[in-house]
Amino acid sequence: MQVLQILKSKADDGVVTVPPGTLISEVAKILAERRIGTVVISPDGGDTAAGILSERDIVRELARRGGSCLTATVETFMTSKLVTCTRADNADDILSKMTEGRFRHMPVVEDGKLVGLITLGDVVKARLGQLAMENSALEGMIMGH
């Protein structure tokens, strides 16, 4: 299964972005209100990805620095060395990269342009659906249908 198929199956294919200079407190509010785990930092309104900031990043800094980290900007804590994929990439490869890298969100980038965001949950859901279809087909073959 390709990333393209997973993106097509998502209920919301939009990527939540914030510009550089956004306060961590603002990002925490966005994450909570939208019930999402990450935002992409984009200097041009979502065309390109300069970094990514997750709930985990914020919690880690809260533990290290306390509440004062909420007045910092996203550049302070974002991951700027992004691991990205394309729509043509294989979902199993993405799952391996996420597992090895211990992250749950991967921007989908093509020709330098941000085209989507894929999550570990998206990949697992797609893989489980694929396994269920294969299981059903095998049961049908066994039963002679």
The tens digit of pLDDT for each residue in 7-55 reads 888 766 679 999 999 999 999 999 999 999 999 999 998 899 999 999 9
Instruction: Report the distance separating Cα 25 and Cα 47, nearest Å.
Output: 24
Segments forming the whole domain that contains residue 23? 3-143
Q: Where are the alpha helices (DSSP H) in 1-145?
A: 3-9, 24-34, 55-65, 74-77, 91-101, 120-143
pLDDT of residue 130: 73
Contact 114, 84 (CB under 8 A): no
Name the residue with tokens 């004062």. Answer: 68
Distance CA 53, CA 40 (A): 6
CA distance 76 to 79: 9
The total number of structural domains in the chain stands at 1
Looking at residue 23, the DSSP 8-state letter turns out to be: B
CATH of the domain at 60: 3.10.580.10
The pLDDT value recorded for residue 87 is 94
Residue-level pLDDT at 145: 64
Query: Model pTM?
Result: 0.84
pLDDT in tens, 54-110: 999 999 999 999 999 999 999 999 999 999 999 999 988 999 999 999 999 999 999
